[in-house]
Structure 1
């Protein structure tokens, strides 16, 4: 009898939980009906989000108290698309179309002759500092993003990014996205890279290098660069932890389009190599 009551109680709890949420799912496509991979989907600054898979499909659980909010779809090279959550029907084959964005960015000229490689960021780490990755990923398949401010003062081409990791779980490969932001109030602001820079790479304990030399990432003023971890499934085990160093500050966010969080007293061990 006690076992039956327990099962009934769990069923009622699950039923009540499902009633308190709305499930939105579908596929994100371009205006040419081509799937868009790894689109950030969420409520801006509300830490409720997800990311589409390689074929543009997604599923997100949204609490009922947020149904009057706008759901935003964001991907480099496309205009943001927004729709009020209450206006979305719950059919599984719902299509969300994004329009291509035409961006005119002032060209930054760098003469590759006689350049030298310079490291910008945090090039060392302390075993006393550890960062956790598995955050807000039980309900929705959501990202975690790590940002590092680069105090660029003259034309610089970003060649590669380095991040120190430990407790790496053995896996074939992990997916990451590299983002570039301008700066407002000391935080990442607008995304200014126009390409969807996806890195599919096997990880190791220690320093990991992400090669972005094939992209035109040339800047002549301070920016934020971020590494965005893209999980494969909701609720996956913690894939790795990141190293850091005492003092300074770390800037992260735990949801697509979520609010940036600043922690003072430590900084993440991330640096880039640039040609200047």
Structure 2
């Protein structure tokens, strides 16, 4: 009796923990590796991201049979099934160039403005990033003018962060139903830093000019890091309480977005043209 019980328990354990490991490299049509490509499993919180050489690894429980989606900035998504990838994990993505309308804005008529948190208040809390979960995105929704050019993105890293260097991927989305919608970039925006405190990312080189949008979502991903010797890795971004739930969170590219109370200590430096009847953009809220 006990032998049969032991065999039954062992079989259940094997079935419970059975899984498939998939390895591969993600490239484009020119056979170039794609760095920091998202690999997400539909209807789950499981995902991964390719490294700077396009190499990825994902472990999928055999109980999961949903499709796997490969997403990279400037490329069409590709959907694969687990069995095909287990046989050959290499993936090639096709170009999808996003054309941003730039001709309608005249630099000599544009005004400059900072939208968001211009200073760090005394009372803040931390939104932490896990070095083992590079798929996680966190950020804010920003109100913008209907004709806006992005110049810089500023945010504040908590002083207690500990690392030799971090590599961040910045994502920008349009907004649908008060949540991030479609990615509106045609190339990766990658930022490296060795410091804490205020950070400034130059966005002017990417030609980010938006027409007929009144909101965008800006998120950060921790895609690589170097730890300090003899120190545990710590990285977090400062946030504060706000009247609305403006803190965005997503576990991986195919997960649902979540919104929590508060707002990143972050701002956008922009140039804009105000349209007739358009109200001034307001972002900062009292605590």
TM-score (norm 2): 0.79
Higher Rg of the two aligned structures: 2
Alignment equivalent of 2:186, drawn from 174, 191, 194: 194
Aligned residue for 1:24, secondary structure, equals: strand
* Cα distance change on mapping 1:237 and 1:29 into 2, 3 Å: farther
* Cα distance change on mapping 1:109 and 1:118 into 2, 3 Å: same
Alignment equivalent of 2:136, drawn from 123, 144, 169: 144
- Residue 3 of structure 1 corresponds to none
Displacement of 1:76 in angstroms is: 1.1
Return the alpha-carbon distance in structure 2 between the equivalents of residues 54 and 31 of structure 1.
17
* Cα distance change on mapping 1:213 and 1:113 into 2, 3 Å: same
Return the alpha-carbon distance in structure 2 between the equivalents of residues 189 and 64 of structure 1.
30
Residue 99 in structure 1 maps to residue 94 in structure 2 = yes
Return the alpha-carbon distance in structure 1 between the equivalents of residues 259 and 123 of structure 2.
21
Return the alpha-carbon distance in structure 2 between the equivalents of residues 117 and 225 of structure 1.
19
- Residue 220 of structure 2 corresponds to 227
* Cα distance change on mapping 1:107 and 1:157 into 2, 3 Å: closer
Aligned residue for 2:134, secondary structure, equals: coil
- The CA deviation string for residues 38-60 of structure 1, in whole angstroms up to 9 with x for no partner, is 10111145221111011110111
Return the alpha-carbon distance in structure 1 between the equivalents of residues 232 and 210 of structure 2.
37
Unaligned runs of 5+ in 1: 1-11
- The CA deviation string for residues 160-209 of structure 1, in whole angstroms up to 9 with x for no partner, is 111111122131x31111222111111001111111111222231x2111
Residue 134 in structure 1 maps to residue 130 in structure 2 = yes
- Residue 170 of structure 1 corresponds to 163
RMSD: 2.5
- Residue 185 of structure 1 corresponds to 177
Displacement of 1:147 in angstroms is: 2.4
Return the alpha-carbon distance in structure 2 between the equivalents of residues 146 and 63 of structure 1.
26
Displacement of 1:251 in angstroms is: 0.8
Alignment equivalent of 1:209, drawn from 197, 200, 219: 200
- Residue 256 of structure 2 corresponds to 259
Alignment equivalent of 1:245, drawn from 225, 240, 248: 240
* Cα distance change on mapping 1:19 and 1:121 into 2, 3 Å: same
- Residue 78 of structure 2 corresponds to 81
Return the alpha-carbon distance in structure 1 between the equivalents of residues 43 and 104 of structure 2.
35
Displacement of 1:78 in angstroms is: 0.8
The answer on whether the counterparts of 2:163 and 2:235 sit within 8 Å (CA) in structure 1 is no
Residue 159 in structure 1 maps to residue 151 in structure 2 = yes
Displacement of 1:30 in angstroms is: 0.8
Displacement of 1:229 in angstroms is: 1.9
- Residue 273 of structure 1 corresponds to 269
Return the alpha-carbon distance in structure 1 between the equivalents of residues 100 and 163 of structure 2.
40
Displacement of 1:80 in angstroms is: 0.5
| Count of matched residue positions in the alignment of Structure 1 and Structure 2 | 251
* Cα distance change on mapping 1:105 and 1:115 into 2, 3 Å: closer
Return the alpha-carbon distance in structure 2 between the equivalents of residues 193 and 104 of structure 1.
9
Unaligned runs of 5+ in 2: 1-9, 273-287
Return the alpha-carbon distance in structure 2 between the equivalents of residues 195 and 155 of structure 1.
21
The answer on whether the counterparts of 2:100 and 2:209 sit within 8 Å (CA) in structure 1 is no
